[in-house]
Structure formats: structure tokens, C-alpha cells
Amino acid sequence: MTITPTELPPLSDESVDRIEEAVFAQIAEERNAGKARSATARRRTRRRGWLTAGGIAAAFLVGVLVTPAILNATGSLSSGSSGSAASAPYDASSGAKPLTGAAKDLAQTSEGATSGAAGGSAPAANAPRDVIRTGSATVQVDDVRKAADALAALAKKHGGFVESQQIGSAQAPVPTDGGIAPPATGDGWVTLRVPAADLDAVMDALRTQGTVLATSVSTNDVTTATTDLRAQIDSLTASVTRLTQLMSQATSVADLLTAETALTDRQTQLQSAQQQLKDLESQVAMSSVQVTLVREAPAAADPAGFGDGLAAGWKGLIISLNALVIALGFLLPWLALALVVALIVWAIVRARRTRRDRPVVAESARADDMS
């Protein structure tokens, strides 16, 4: 027997609610399951990204740490190998082919210049020494500016010059060549550059400028440094000359570029060494003298008669009057403030007394009226 739709039994409200709750619960479960799967997929994606970045960073770090060691080991093996490979340097840009012609000469010239510049040479036992001498003094003078002009004339007389000076300041210069710094007190300072042979004469002549309070002379032997710089300059000069010749003999663009790069590097090193040697030779030839000029303290009053005593008494009176005026000016604002406070207190006391006396006056008036 077939049951038609119209013959289906009716559903109660409770049945409908149970069906809806079941459907909604199933939808919620499917939705939560989808969210969980999406979150898991995102976590896996992030984990893969972090692992990939960590692997790249680790590979980069290993390359930075290991590559120099491998290159050094390779260079050591190449320099220590025997046979024909030891006599012909290799060109890194062309694989295992040995350099020939101008490129080979370039490599040998560069190695020779580097080893010569690094080795240096010891100064001979009987060779003259390169010594930097520096003097400093503190001189007490009457007039600082006149003394500074006299020191400039003294330096010019001995073939020197004034390197720097400052008048009217208590800041003393700081020596840059290892000398002793002059005292920080004073009214000015002058730095002179004089020939090293005349340093002692200039230091003695300072006594004619005023009262010499302190003097010092320091020495610094730079013979080893100048000898090394001269050897380095000779080696670099020879290297520059040879590289210039190799540039004209280059048979390829690669050899020409290599020679030009090496020549630029050698010229830079040569100029730096020449400048350093020039500075040291200048300090050896011309000594530095730093003079601090201190103004003489005024003489104390020493009355020798009635007139001197009267003058000293008058000065004392003026000083006392000035002190009195200053004290009065200092106390005047405080006195004015105290006067204002006293007036306020007096007004308050008077007002209270007046209020207290009013009932007494009123009672006295009523008593008079009653009588």
C-alpha cells in the first residue's frame, strides 16, 4: 500500500525543534572542522617558511665562515706546490690556466712589492737618529700680549714661526706629538716651531721675556718608523715603475685592467707613506715649543709713610662704603617685604581688638541710658 504525502503523519513542535537542533549542530561541527583544517594548514605553511628562511641563513653563515678558510687553504696549496705550477701563477678568472707574459710579471711584481714593503730594514748602527724634541715652559710676564709678540719675534729670529696662539684664555693647548702639556692656568699661550738645533737657545732666551716658572724638554726617537717608511717608499716606487711598464706591454684587456688596479693601489700606498714620512721629518727638523704666559700678581700694599698710609686708608674707606652700599641694596627688598608683612599683621590685630571692644562699648552705653 502506497502512502501519499497527504497521508504522512503530522510532526509535533518538539520533533521539529529536535530536527533543527540536529541540523544546526551538524553544520556547526562541519564549520569548526573546516576552521581547524585551515588553521592547521596555515601553521604548516608558516613552519615551512621559517624552516626555509633558517636553512638559507644557515647556508649563508656557513658560506661566510668556510669560504675564507677554503680560499686560504687553496692559496697555501698553490704557493707550496712544485714543478711548473709553482713557477707560473694561476689566473683565478680563467680557471686552471697559468698566467703568462705581462700578467705573470704583474703577479711577481705585486708579490715582490708587498713583501718588500712589509719587511722593511733595520737602521744602521752609525746612522744619524731621527729624534723629535719638544719643549714647554710657563713664564710669568707683566703684559701677556707684549710677551706673545716678543716670542713671535724670537721664533722668527731663529728661523721659526708661530704655529698657534691664544690670548685671554685659561685653556692651554694639548700637545699632539707626545710632549708634556703646559699648565692649564694662565692668561694665554703661544706655540712656536723652531729648528731643532736652536731649541736649547730658544728655551734659554725665554728668561729674557719674564720669570720662568717651569720648563721641560721631551724627546721621542722615531728612527725605526722613518727607516721603515723610507724602505716602503723605495719598494712601492719600484713597484709603480714596473707596473707602468707592464701596462704598456699588456696583450689583453684582462691584463690591462689587472695592472691598472694594482697600479692604483700601489700609488695610494705610496702617497700615504710619503705623507707620513713628511710629517715625521717635519717634526724632527722643527721642534715645538709651547709657552704658557701667566700674568704677574699685583703687589700688596706696603705703606712707607704718612702719604702712603693716607692713600691706603682712603682706598679702604672707599672699599668699605662700596661694601655698605652693596649690603644695603641687598637688604632693601627684604626690609620692604618685612614692612608689608608687619602692616598686614598690625591691621589684623587692630581689627580683632575693635570687634572685641564693641560689646563693651555697647553695654556701657546701655548702662548710661538706664541711669
Q: What is the DSSP string of 115-150?
A: HHHHH--PPPTTSPP-EEEEEEEEEEES-HHHHHHH
Q: CA quadruple 260, 262, 264, 266: dihedral positive or negative?
A: negative
Q: CA quadruple 28, 31, 35, 36: dihedral positive or negative?
A: positive
Reading the chain (371 residues) residue by residue, the pLDDT tens digits are 454 555 556 667 777 777 777 777 777 777 777 777 777 777 777 777 677 767 676 666 666 565 665 555 555 444 444 333 333 333 433 333 344 444 455 545 555 555 554 455 555 566 788 899 999 999 999 888 899 999 999 999 999 999 988 887 545 555 555 544 444 445 789 999 999 999 999 999 998 888 899 999 999 999 899 999 999 999 999 989 998 888 888 788 888 888 888 889 999 999 999 999 999 999 999 999 999 999 876 555 555 567 778 888 888 889 999 998 998 889 889 989 989 999 999 989 888 888 877 776 666 666 666 66
pTM: 0.44
What's the CA gap between 130 and 286, in Å, rounded?
A: 12
Residue 358 in domain: no
How many structural domains compose the chain?
Answer: 1
pLDDT of residue 123: 58
Full domain range(s) for residue 153: 131-223
What's the CA gap between 94 and 84, in Å, rounded?
A: 17
pLDDT of residue 182: 47
Residue 95 in domain: no
Residue 149 in domain: yes
pLDDT of residue 86: 37
pLDDT of residue 138: 92
What's the CA gap between 220 and 1, in Å, rounded?
A: 128
What's the CA gap between 140 and 292, in Å, rounded?
A: 8
H or E element in which residue 72 lies: helix 13-80
Residue 234 in domain: no
Residue 147 in domain: yes
pLDDT of residue 143: 87
Residue/partner pairs of 167-171 with CB below 8 Å, 24 or more apart: 167/293, 168/144
How distant is the alpha carbon of residue 321 from its chain centre? 53
Q: What are phi and psi of 286, to 5 degrees?
A: -120, 110
Query: Cα dist. 136→7, 143, 149, 216, 231 in Å?
Result: 127, 20, 18, 5, 33
Residue 85 in domain: no
Residue 337 in domain: no
Residue 301 in domain: no
Query: Cα dist. 42→30, 46, 139, 239, 292 in Å?
Result: 18, 6, 83, 64, 77
Question: Which DSSP category does 182 fall into?
Answer: P
pLDDT of residue 25: 78
Q: Which three cell numbers stand for residue 312?
A: 691706603
pLDDT of residue 82: 37
Contact 209, 313 (CB under 8 A): no
SS (HEC) of 229-249: HHHHHHHHHHHHHHHHHHHHH
pLDDT of residue 191: 93
pLDDT of residue 167: 86
CATH of the domain at 160: 3.30.70
Query: Cα dist. 185→102, 167, 172, 294 in Å?
Result: 65, 12, 7, 8
Per the listing, cell 714596473 goes with 242
Report CA dihedral (36, 40, 42, 45) to the nearest 10 degrees. -170
pLDDT of residue 291: 92
